[in-house]
Structure formats: structure tokens, C-alpha cells
Structure 1
Amino acid sequence: MKILFVITGLGTGGAEMMLYKILSRINRDKFDPIVLSLMDRGTFGDRIEALNIPVYTLNIGRGQLPNPQIIWKLVKHIHQHQPDLIQGWMYHANLAAQAASFLSLKKTPVLWSIHHSIPDLKLEKPSLQAIIKLSALTSKFIKKAVFSSQTSQLQHQKLGYPPGKTYLIHDSFNTDLFQPSSEAKISVCQELNISTESLLIGLIARFHPMKDQDNFLQAASLITNNYPETHFILVGPEVTPENYFLSQKIKELNLGNCVHLLGERHDTPRLTAALDIATLCSAFGEAFPNVVGEAMCCEVPCVVTDVGDAGLIVGDVGKVIPPKNSEALAKAWQEMIELGNEGRNNLGRQARERIEQNFSLDSVNSAVHKYENLYLSILANKN
């Protein structure tokens, strides 16, 4: 079965990572995947090609909507590769895939994959609001819209997605790649030139209003006086000392000695395992945030805001707080700190067990197997 995966871009992100994980595990005796990025190769293009999967790009600019010329190029790829099924991945690519399939006259089944939650449509940029509304109108023509989050699935149904067209497949996590490591903390502390006795609280996220790094820093300022041994690690694209907003906020809050902006990194398993407490403080937009499950794989207890299915992931082995509330975030951190090393380690072990039991990439109920079964069922009923 030849599947054309059409994705908005291949940069750093949870949705992009999930596609890579599926492609790395998909049964190649049954499925022949091809990847087409509307943008460039990003950080995952080479990694996907290393799996012996061809990657094509259309090189549209960031923020640019798929125009007729781009759609026509996509149509030509459909004619060239003759896929049995087209899998869209994220909003822009979903719409582009559906439009190209329609114009190709091939009647190729189209699925969408959505990795975003919408507690309030007004929180999104006007251009994305328009894409989401248009998607709701055209969703009745696709085979299925796959959601990584139950919260997101219900929110999109309220926006007009036909319930019979929606399908839930939670993301899965690589418990082999993300593992606990005492050596990781030592090496990271040495890299940062801080004491190995320091307590590390981390946030791994690109710089974006939905990720709410401002909230993270505000909370950090509330606990540094009582816990001066605490250091805060922020990792992700544009999360660097050159970021004017972050550098000014750190200066304003007098956090220069304890906040470390590490930018985009390719050793996130090591950085994650080095943490004592992992944080997701997003204000909105999250569906099934991978960074939470990855931290739990590393036996790192998590404090998360109640966005998307973050609370579902941590269950009763982490703390769930309201978004945009730095006092609640600082209080949750304080409670984790007061548990001490033994208490946090016990919670971390329970966290990894929760992932292994419910969200492991190698389990029989993994996202990979669920996508494979969905593809087979759709083609078995193809008109």
C-alpha cells in the first residue's frame, strides 16, 4: 500500500516527531510511505530519508497559504506516485491534500491528522481561524480526521467536524530513546557550570505565545528566594540569549544567574533525563504534548497546565494546574521540591510505568498499529 504523507513542514515539533516515529515503525512489508513537505526539509527531512523513505518539498514560506500553484504541484505528485491513500498532517497540509486529491480526479482516499486543541478559536491568529473554519466545512468529504487528543476531537466536533468522521489515536512514546539517567544530570550540570546538587526545572518548547515562557519565568521568580539552588532550563527553537523578549524578561525578574536558554538542541533525551521536574506551561493549543510523555519515560515528574490531554497523560503521577497562573505553577513546583529526591524518584518511577502501560510506541496498542489498522480498513472499504 503506497501512502503519500503530506505535512505542512518538517521542523522541530511534536506533530513532526510523531510522524517520524510512525514512519520509523510502520510495517514496510505492507506499507510504502512517501513524504511531501509543503515547506522545506526542516530538521526531520534527513532523518526520514535515512529510513529509506523519499522526501519531497514544495518550499512555500512560513505563514504562506497553499496557493493554486502549490496545489497543482501537489496534484502532479499524486499523478506521479499514484498513492493508494493520502494522509494529511496538520491543518494546512490537510486542506492542501484534500484539494489536490479532488483536482487530481483520482478519488484517492484522504485522511487528516490534527495535533492542536482549540479551547477558544479567538486565541488563534485570524489566518489560522480561517483555515480551521474552512477545514470544518470540507471535513465531510474526507475519510477520517485523526486526532491525537480526545479534548481536541470534541472541540473540533463542536466546530462542525462530523463526529462520524473523527477518530482518536493518542500519540505514543519511545521508551527506549527516553530513559532515566543519573549521568545525564551530571553532564548537563557540568555543561552549565553549576553544582551537581542543583535542582533542575525544565521547559522544552519552541518560542511561541501558546508555550507561555513568560508564565514559566514569572513562576521562577516566585520561588528563587526560598530555593536558591534551583536552576531553570529552557530549550527550543528561538529560546536563546539573542531572544529579546526572553533576555529582557530574565533581566527584569533578576533571574540571570539561574535561567539557562539553550536554544534548539538535538540531545533532548539527555536534557530531559537531567531534569528533576519537567514543565508544560502552555496557555492553549496543545493536543497531546509529547514532551510530557517523554519526561515521564525518563522518570521525571511533571507539572502541566490543563491544556489538551496533558492531564490525561500525567494522570495521578504529576500535577495539573490552570494555564496562565504563575502562582499556581510556582506552588506546584514548591510541592514537588518539598517531596525531596526520594519522593520525586518514586513519582518518576510511577510516571514511566504509566507510559509503558498506556502509551508505549512498542505496545500492541501503539499509535503505529492503530494507524496501520485504520489504513487497512479504509482501503478494504474503498469504493
Structure 2
Amino acid sequence: MARGKIRLALLIHRLDPGGAERQLMALAQGLDKEKFQVLVITLYPGGALSDELKGLKGVRLESLKRKRRWEFPIAMARLMSSLRRSGAHAVYGFMEVPAQMSLLVGRVLGLKVIWGLRRSARDFGDYERAEKVSFQTGRYLSSWADLIILNSFKGKEDYAHAGYCARRMEVVPNGIDTDHFVRYVQKGLELKRSWGLGPDNRAIGVVARLHPMKGHEIFLRAAQRVAARHPDVFFVCAGRGEPKRLLYLQGLACGLGLGEKVIWAGEVQDVVSLYSALDLLCLPSIYGEGFPNVVGEAMSCQVPCVVSNVGDSARVVGDTGLVVPKGDSEKLASALDDLLAESGEGLAHRGKLARERVLCEFGIEKMVVSTTRLIESLMWGQPASFTISG
């Protein structure tokens, strides 16, 4: 292929406000438009981020307008038509189903095919059967992809262990928008007031969808221990979830004597204000994490973090926060106690170190540059000239 602009199609389920979607948005915006023509294709129409993406200069958006799973053949035909019309040179599928669709269509059209896989090992008992089928199918198709980009070293290890093609894999950690994720003290105080908290109350938050992988039960059991020793502390659960799951967790909180101590914030649109309202962020996931965006975002907002040793959470936090074994509520409570016992100045220093770590290691520009070099290497047949420490 003669050198010129690379016409790159990015394929994803829909533009909901999730981690993969945010990374796609950051990549689409950050790619050098002197080198790339970018087309974003969604399987399903709509999504809270669609208007934001439409406003990005040099990025086009199309939808396959899939509505039901059985419309898969129709979606495949529409994807083939869209890629032909755009004259794409490469297609990059984010998550397993879009990745596999990109392979099946991309091979027919003679395109370079890139997969974006963003998780580590998971418990398929908590997912629909289709999720397990998709994962197993990917195992057999992965060697046909030209490049597999993962956002975590643990994800690379787990996918390779599961039989995915390791020689195609490269790791590019997520990029955090450090210009956007900045701590605003006043906004945080205003949000705390809306929760009924005073300036002397401290807040520990889990910012995650209400899914079993996120370990909310572990957090609530740890909160019971922490609340007994720190009556000024409240606990925030922010994230969307199924009503049945929410009722179960609320019942568990009441059974633990935390009915008045837990704030069920739901899905918060202004996450910068949310992080600014927290004194500590906790991510007690029990499986499935790759690179957890919420940890990087909170660190960028100078919030010290306590995380379980799942995915690359410990690698992201480094020595700015604390890491505990997954599923251990006692160790989690102890770690939270340790940070709560630090002086205000000590926690503020931790927060500054956390932001400095994100600025140095996990900025958006670094993610975009690394991805650009991998794609250019794939297209032009030259080795990518960068390294990422493992």
C-alpha cells in the first residue's frame, strides 16, 4: 500500500458512557487527521456519547442500526456496505463481538483487521450464554486478526492462557484526559451537600456499574467495619445497574446496619464533581478488570485509591494507594482504615502523587501515540518504535 492517509474504521456496540467507549472517543479525537481519516461505526443507534462524537472535527459517525441479536446477518451486510463505501484500509473492533465482526467482513474486503480486547479473566456464570460463546469463538478466530491491542498486561496474560493468539498481541494502556479530570473542591462540596453530608463528613466511593464482578458486596462488608470505627464516614455507590441487583445490594446494606450510611447515587453524569466529592475511591472488583478507567480518572482528580489485585489495578495505582487481595473484606476494611488514619496533609500528598503518576504514565497523548505507531507499523510493514514497560 502506498503511503498516504490511513482510512481507519472503529467499530463498537454503541456509544454509551463506558470505559471502552471513552477510549474510542479519545482515540478518534486524538489521531492525527493529517495521517488518518476516521470513521466510527456503531452496531446499535444512539448512546449518550453520540452527540459528543458528532462534534469531533475530522470524525464521521455511522450506525448499523441493529436492534435485536437475530439481526446479525443484516448488521454484517450493512457493515460490509459501510466499509466498502468508506474505502477503509483497516477496521478496529472494540470488544469481542465487534472484533469478530470486523474480522469476518475485513477478510472478505482485504482490510487489515485490529482487535481491541479490554478485560481479564471473568466468571461467565454472571453473564448471558452469548457472552461465553463469543469468548470461545474468539479463541479460534484470533490468529486471523492482524493485530490484537489489549489495555492491560493481565488481560494479555489471561487471553493468551485461554488460547488467544499471543503473537498478535500488544499492550497499550488506556489514556486519561488529565485536562478534564481535575479536582474542583467547590463542586465536590456542593455534591456532598446534595447528599446531605457536611464539610466534616468523609466519603468513600465505588464508581462502577452494579455488576457482580465489581465486588459491591465486599465493599459493603468492609464498610460495616469502617463505619464502626469512623462514624464521620459515609459510603457512596455510584453507577447504573439492574433494579433487581440494586434492591439486593440495598437489602444487604440494611442488613449490615448501613441503611443510613450508604448513598446510592445512581449514574452520575458529572463524574468530575463526583470524584471531587470523594476522599477515597475503592475498586473491590473480584474479576474481569483490564485497565480500570475509574481508577485513573480518580487519581487524576487527586483521589487516593484502594483497589483489589484484579487486572492491572495495582499497576495503575503504583505506590500512590493501597492494594488488597480480591474478595477479602477484612483486608479491604484494614486498608481503608489505614488511609483514613492519615492526616489531611498526608492524604492530599497522596492525591498529588496519584495525579503526577497519571500525567507521567497514562495520559491520552501516550495512548494515541502508541496506537498510531502500532497501526502505522501494521500498514507500512515497519516495526513499531516504542516500548511500554511491563
Q: Under a length normalisation based on structure 1, what TM-score does the superposition of the two structures give?
A: 0.93
Q: Specify the SS of the correspondent of 1:35.
A: strand
Q: Using the TM superposition, give the Cα deviation of residue 28 of structure 1 relative to its aligned residue in structure 2, in angstroms.
A: 1.5
Q: Using the TM superposition, give the Cα deviation of residue 123 of structure 1 relative to its aligned residue in structure 2, in angstroms.
A: 6.6
Corresponding position of 2:278: 275
CA distance in 2, matches of 1:36, 1:119: 27
Corresponding position of 1:48: 53
8 Å contact kept, 1:240–1:261? no
**Aligned residue type for 1:8:** H
Q: Using the TM superposition, give the Cα deviation of residue 181 of structure 1 relative to its aligned residue in structure 2, in angstroms.
A: 2.7
Matched, 1:74 2:70: no
CA distance in 1, matches of 2:187, 2:350: 19
Task: Show structure 1 runs of 5+ residues with no match.
Answer: none
CA distance in 1, matches of 2:117, 2:166: 14
1:155-205: per-residue Cα shift (whole Å, max 9, x none)?
111222222211110111111111123223311222112111111101111
Matched, 1:310 2:316: no
Corresponding position of 1:180: 183
Corresponding position of 1:341: 344
**Aligned residue type for 1:42:** G
Q: Specify the SS of the correspondent of 2:204.
A: strand
CA distance in 1, matches of 2:53, 2:102: 20
1:271-310: per-residue Cα shift (whole Å, max 9, x none)?
1122110111111100000111111111111000111000
**Aligned residue type for 2:329:** S
Q: Using the TM superposition, give the Cα deviation of residue 230 of structure 1 relative to its aligned residue in structure 2, in angstroms.
A: 0.5
8 Å contact kept, 1:185–1:196? no
1:309-357: per-residue Cα shift (whole Å, max 9, x none)?
0000011111111112211111111111011212111111111111111
**Aligned residue type for 1:141:** W
8 Å contact kept, 1:239–1:263? no
Corresponding position of 1:229: 232
Q: Using the TM superposition, give the Cα deviation of residue 381 of structure 1 relative to its aligned residue in structure 2, in angstroms.
A: 2.8
Corresponding position of 1:328: 331
Corresponding position of 1:201: 204
1:57 counterpart (36, 39, 63): 63
**Aligned residue type for 1:29:** E
CA distance in 1, matches of 2:15, 2:52: 10
Q: Specify the SS of the correspondent of 1:320.
A: strand
Q: Using the TM superposition, give the Cα deviation of residue 9 of structure 1 relative to its aligned residue in structure 2, in angstroms.
A: 2.3
Corresponding position of 2:221: 218
Corresponding position of 1:352: 355
Q: Specify the SS of the correspondent of 1:34.
A: strand
CA distance in 2, matches of 1:122, 1:206: 17
Task: Show structure 2 runs of 5+ residues with no match.
Answer: 1-5, 383-390
**Aligned residue type for 2:295:** V
Corresponding position of 1:90: 95
Corresponding position of 1:4: 9
Q: Using the TM superposition, give the Cα deviation of residue 37 of structure 1 relative to its aligned residue in structure 2, in angstroms.
A: 1.1
Q: Specify the SS of the correspondent of 1:234.
A: strand
Corresponding position of 1:265: 268
8 Å contact kept, 2:210–2:246? no
1:118 counterpart (121, 130, 137): 121
1:20 counterpart (9, 25, 40): 25
| RMSD (CA atoms) | 2.0
Quickly say closer, same or farther: Cα 1:220–1:160, change in 2 above 3 A: same
8 Å contact kept, 2:204–2:235? yes
CA distance in 2, matches of 1:97, 1:108: 9
Quickly say closer, same or farther: Cα 1:123–1:236, change in 2 above 3 A: closer
CA distance in 2, matches of 1:273, 1:334: 20
Corresponding position of 2:386: none
Quickly say closer, same or farther: Cα 1:121–1:258, change in 2 above 3 A: closer
Q: Specify the SS of the correspondent of 2:266.
A: coil
Q: Under a length normalisation based on structure 2, what TM-score does the superposition of the two structures give?
A: 0.91
**Aligned residue type for 2:364:** L
Q: Specify the SS of the correspondent of 1:224.
A: helix
**Aligned residue type for 1:371:** T
**Aligned residue type for 1:37:** T
**Aligned residue type for 1:112:** W
Matched, 1:39 2:47: no
Quickly say closer, same or farther: Cα 1:120–1:264, change in 2 above 3 A: closer
**Aligned residue type for 2:89:** D
Tell which deviates more after alignment, 208-217 or 237-246.
237-246
Corresponding position of 1:286: 289
Tell which deviates more after alignment, 276-285 or 174-183.
174-183
**Identical-pair percentage:** 27
1:87-110: per-residue Cα shift (whole Å, max 9, x none)?
1000110011111223xx321111
**Aligned residue type for 2:87:** Q
Q: Using the TM superposition, give the Cα deviation of residue 122 of structure 1 relative to its aligned residue in structure 2, in angstroms.
A: 6.5
Corresponding position of 2:387: none
Quickly say closer, same or farther: Cα 1:336–1:28, change in 2 above 3 A: same
Q: Using the TM superposition, give the Cα deviation of residue 119 of structure 1 relative to its aligned residue in structure 2, in angstroms.
A: 5.8
